[in-house]
Structure 1
Amino acid sequence: MESTESEIVVFFLLLLPHANSISFSFSGFQPNMPDIFFENDSFATGGLLQVTKNQVDDSLTSSIGRASYAEPVHLWDASTGRLTDFTTHFSFAIKAVNDSVYNSATKNLSVFLTYADNPVFSGNSTLSYVVDLTKVLPEWIRVVDDSLTSSTGRASYAEPVRLWDASTGRLTNFTTHFSFAIKAVNDSVYGDGLSLFLAPFDSRIPPDSSGGYLALFSAKSAFNTSQNKIIAVEFDSRQDEWDPSSDHVGININSIISVQKVQWKSSIKNGSRANAWVSYNSATKNLSVFLTYADNPVFSGNSTLSYVVDLTKVLPEWIRVGFSAATGESIELHTVYSWEFESTLEASGGKGKKSFGLVVALVVTIGVLTCGSGGYWFIWWRKRVGPRKEDMALELAIDDEFEKGTGPKRFTYRELSHATKNFSEEGKLGEGGFGGVYKGLLSDSKTEVAVKRVSRGSKQGKKEYVSEVKIISRLRHRNLVQLIGWCHEHGELLLVYEFMPNGSLDTHLFGGNSTLTWTVRYKIALGLASSLLYLHEEWEQCVVHRDIKSSNIMLDSNFNAKLGDFGLARFVDHELGSQTTVLAGTMGYLAPECVTTGKASKESDVYSFGVVALEITCGRRPVEPRAEPSKTRLVEWVWSLYGKGQLFEAVDKGLSMEFDQRQMECLMTVGLWCCHPDSTHRPSIRQVINVLSFEAPLPNLPMTMPVPMYFAPPMHMCTFSYTSSATPTDSQSHQSGCSCNICTSDSSMSLGSSKALLKLPKPDV
């Protein structure tokens, strides 16, 4: 039976508030084209898209098909409620095989039909219907969500990365920073997650690796540690049978079961941008992870999840570094916004790969074929001259700083290389956020020194180097680590300090070294307070250290405390005593107002001193994720015991009750006083010394830890708790002010003030 075919031009229109735009256009369709998702009987042939079967036989009956754009389309913005405007135009034909029996229907939001040869759309509609799309569709659509299920993907750096040197056995230190978002398409059911992975360079996505296997392992090999060679940091958003909970961060070694994990408390449903740092310390073999949702985060080497692993035992010399993600029956969107990677082990030898730093926020491809020779010459000139000019500028700036002070001298690289036995790994004392510290012996004076070597290519390390030179070279105090000299040659940044034979305070409190006696501990607290008094009040300018913690307190041969690491320190005005800056410091030691306002001050330094004072008395870190919930946070736990009159229950068991009770009560109470959530109720460091010297009475603190209150809105920071522990209880909202008889009474703001304040819960650390 003969039938006719008509060409119909359709315009699809919905007028709503404008949102971010997207556009695509297809003049024809090809089989298996990646931009179209074909379902059931739909297919492409001859440049046309057939939505159902087109063979004239019985198989045409009961045929169904769908074809949709392969990528999600942003329909409305969940954070603002804004809807998009959109217009879609398509030409199509419906051909009846039997003119007497057929069925067709067109149902759309707004449709304009025309048979004109040269149609022009004027906004008129033949059929329309009013509907609020935010009520019936999710924020991101693809016409059919099933196309997102069982999806796997990887994106990695295109070149091999050198992890360790097979000839010397030397491991690299590396730090990688990336920002990403995981967006749930359905708020109630979503999965499965994203990961950063390190694997042999020839590694590819295994078969059957969707869902909870995160495109890392196949279902058959996921639990076979001897069969796999891969290390991953997973951001898992769905609970599988091998997972302890949903929404967790884990470190995986050759298995889908994490060897270390923490609960991921921040919601992923709204697609908020997260920042993660993953770093590896070759000296300690420590792989650590830090995750935050802060607006302007700064990484200071701290971590909330870590695991000790020798990478040479797991991975080959050259590896692939990248991201993997997967969905299963539940779906979500995985987006990486930016990526940086820095490694200290220079690539050399047969493979000829160079050490690199990645910034994958924007990729720009430029072709300049006609200027090839000129471009080559310019690049060669910049490589030869550019770095040298930068080195000279830095040397002149540092020379000028040292000329203002006395004492520190300039060393040659050859001198320091000889002193440290070519920076031998055997003489490595430790690893900081931006480089290693090596023990050395100066040949001329036979003086033992500690040489800090900033990692090559580390921009943040260079900033800290210059900051430390500017500040510590001009300071002289018995409780500050003395800077002996410096070196800046051939791109190397080196600082030379007096050697501290007893290491740092944290190694004695938590590292299993010999337990410090109470007399030594109290002397250390007084010495630290003395160094802060010098920085805050006694030197010509006020210096805010910003990173006071037990690992930055060094101990000389007589266990005298010496404060070091001035990389984050800043000069401030004596009158103001504060500086608004980006968030910096170490979580657990940061004052609450630093997290919410970014303002560093003498008061925030005093808060950090208080945390260290409690570490000295209690012999534990500021946060113990494995402890029972009531004891997780040191300050809160000790304050609760203070309110019960049971302060000594927090005393370090390693002291075996051998301590001066009056001094112990004094230091613990002063520690809490310094950690008062309201900075206006903290003591000055001079008041601290007066109380510790028993020249002033102990303060009377609230029985319950007060709730911090600030004018500024909070930053949204991700918090962690180990999955083996229950969720910490909510902070108590006690609002009585400090009744201390030492604090001044004319404070501009107190917890009992009638001013309009924004009350915040105590920030998690």
Structure 2
Amino acid sequence: MGEFKLWSSHFSESKSLNLWAQNSRFLIGDSLVWNYDGNKDSVVEVRKRDYITCNTLSPISEHNDDNTKVKLDQSGPLYFISEEKGHCDKGQKLIVVVMFAKLIWKLICVLFDIVSQIHFKKFVGTQDENQFIYNGFRGANLHLDGLAQIHPNGLLQLTNNSVRRQTGHAFYPLPIKFNDSSFGLPQNHSFSTNFVFVMVPQYPDVSGHGIAFTISPSTNFSGAFEGPYLGLLNPTNNGHDSNHLLAIELDTIQDRGFNDIDDNHVGIDVNNLTSNDSAPASYYSSSEGKNKNLTLISGNPIEVWIDYDGVENLLNVTLAPIPSPKPNLPLLSTHIDLSPILLNSMYVGFSSSTGATATNHYILGWSFNKSGKAQSIEISKLPSFPHQRKPRGKPGMAIIVSLVTTIIMLIIIIFGVVCCVRRKKYEEIQEDWEQEYGPQRFSYKDLYKATRGFQSKELLGAGGFGKVYRGVLPSSKELIAVKKISHDSKQGMREFVAEIVSMGRLRHRNLVRLLGYCRRKGELLLVYDYMPNGSLDKFLFGSEQALNWVQRYQILRGVASALQYLHEEWEQVVLHRDVKASNVLLDADLNGRLGDFGLARLHDHGEILETTNVVGTLGYLAPEFSRTGKATTSTDVYSFGAFMLEVACGRKPIETQRLPEERVLIDWVIENWKQGAILETSDPRLRGEYLKEEMELVLKLGLFCSHPNAAARPSMRQVVQYLGGDALFPNDILLDIVGIGTLGVCNEASPEFVMSFPSSVLKGFQDSMSSSLLHSGR
């Protein structure tokens, strides 16, 4: 690859020979071994400073063919190659010239390097390759970029307050050998440094982003962002392991994107601006025995000590205001292994950044040691720095202040209006006596948000008493159903709420749980468990898939069990007063649950209930209740009888659009029973797929519960026993017929059987009235 030119003082002209060897590159002290005449080796020791690059080297030996080793030595005789015979003649000195011009250039570079080192050492205190100290930076040969500059008095300024969104860097010019394992010693990544900094903001309490002491594999930060990235990284490389970056940040802006704890903290960053560990800026006062706060942008000098023990993998960061000594306790003490971060050659220095507000960031002095404790900075030798200037008054300041004041007032007014509107929007009524019902009371705001403002798409159904909405409680994410009831009267409200709260304690598998209530002006809201399959009437009369007989029979048994619990098994008697298909809800497994306690009343066992206004749904009201206004357990049994016929026949108790003899369900079933065709009244959608014994039992028991004489009706306990097969339905039932007397009713009706139930509806009753409610009171 290269041609060596050899000359001898013995010859009058130079000789050019091609030399070649197996090694393509070699340095001073290397030995070249090649084959001589195919059977002997010769060695030449290179005594040149520069690299020699060649293909091959022709054999060199003494005149004597037996000698196989020759050394090219500057102190002894040199040998030359004879192109005629290929042997060596002793005593003739040769000079080897390899790229003479390149050699001269290298010598110039070496001289320049020596001069530079002498000049650099002049301005650095006691140092070697592992440590340095600057008590001020006058004449220092630092690597600077961005806004960084060194003032004539030795003050290092990283950023200034005249340029926003800029960066400044200052690094020691020579790399530090962190992974040097020379002389067989184990690698030790320990280091120690301390420096004094000052942050002087343009305006009090408003600053740029801060300063970071940095150890980096490069001093090129051309792709780094300003602001919260501190001139070190950018969104693309932030967090990459390939960064090999350690930074101790002195951050004065809280950036939630990096999980900053506050706007005045110290953090340890490894390859990422999200700190591994951080703490509010403070220092330990030995005299007071406690930590004292430090304000990084106070405009006063603060000293920082950073010590890393590579054996213990412990990184300590300590702060103190000048001239306080180094505190005994560090601010941060973090166990961290920096060996994967610190490469063989790393640069140490500072990075700083401004954001929307500019700040003067200064470094007054700096000491670093790779192989031991850093030397102490001599505070007396540190340069002075400019303090914060008081802002001068400007002619337009009064206008600005007035404008800002006006804007603030407008914001306050708008905020007040919004608050009033929101208060009106979520306004509710709550009296002192309701305090004891706190857990059972919901806030209107929660219910409003749960139902998305009672939007129509959340509407589950509507009735004479109000609308029911689906909702999700914001706090628990629990599904609920909210029923809005119009209620303007204050009379009896306290007793009503007390009953609602009491019924919230009811617990039965076939009852819809009443969770609580809320009151607004003109409205009462009841909160129930949400039943995903809605009400039973949708499956009986709507477009939902028809229920089979097994499902219907189980629903009847479940609702009967729930009514027995309300009448006999709870601490008080609960009268539901509105048992019907639309108030029976189906859970996810199509189990029937009796719900809607809006009309329910409570009284003690054995107590005679006072007369109340007639409430309920026509077709389900017992005759004596409409006459006397007294609700009893028998009136609930009557309603349940109508409900049983409703489920078995698949039609409502009153349907005015039918033929006159079919309009009233009870009368129609009785007529078919008299004719021996009671099964003809079963729901056609069942297609005869049922047990005849169970269908007959439900139809006859429905008539039995709907007996016009309250005393003749069974109790709900008896009904549960009949449906469960725990008791046989009686073969003979005496029915008291108003105006006729009593007749024996045979279990198997014959054509001769005659019985008469009074019709429970008036002539001319309209379609819309069949589901209406009488709700003039409780």
The verdict on a shared fold, with TM-score over 0.5 as the criterion, is no
Normalising by structure 2, what TM-score? 0.40
TM-score (norm 1): 0.40
